[in-house]
Amino acid sequence: MSKTIKCEDLKFTIYVEDTDFQGFVYYANYLRFFERARSNFLSNNNLFQKKFIESNAAFIVKEVHIEYFAPAELGDEIIVQSTVEKKSDARMVFSQSVKNLNNNNECAKGLVEVCFINLITKKPQKFPDDLLLIFK
């Protein structure tokens, strides 16, 4: 049976660099916020992507589904909330949401499927034991 883990929430302030010409968060930046939260999950569990790359392994995004509801704006405080579920020994799915702390609106939510691959063969590879232990 797979296990779902609640990840640590990640808070940001929206700056000019995050917005489009209207002052709203540019739609693609929600993916960047999701990525930061996923990277934070790994770092918080002492799993460092640079070390994986040095050993010819890496996480790749296989699939993304995202819905947009209400844009965050310049100066808003947002929070990225995530859970992760192990689907196999080489694949996990993050369920992620961005909420605006200024008005409590949900800005976007998404599902991001991540695979662990061997960088030489480009084939799936079993997660490191340290990551598998998190899901026990």
- Check 9, 18, 20, 89 and give the catalytic one: 20
What structural domains and CATH numbers belong to the chain? 4-134 (3.10.129.10)
Average pLDDT over every residue of 88-102? 97
Closest CA to 14 of 95, 98, 90: 98
Confidence band for 82, pLDDT divided at 50, 70 and 90: very high
Q: Dump pLDDT digits (tens) for 46-56.
A: 999 999 999 99
Sign of CA dihedral 62, 67, 72, 74: positive
Each residue's pLDDT tens digit, 7-45: 999 999 999 999 999 999 999 999 999 999 999 999 999
CA 10 to chain centre: 10
Task: Indicate whether 1 pLDDT > 70.
Answer: no
> Residue 2: pLDDT above 90?
no
| Sign of the torsion formed by the C-alpha atoms of 11, 17, 20 and 22 | positive
20 has catalytic annotation = yes
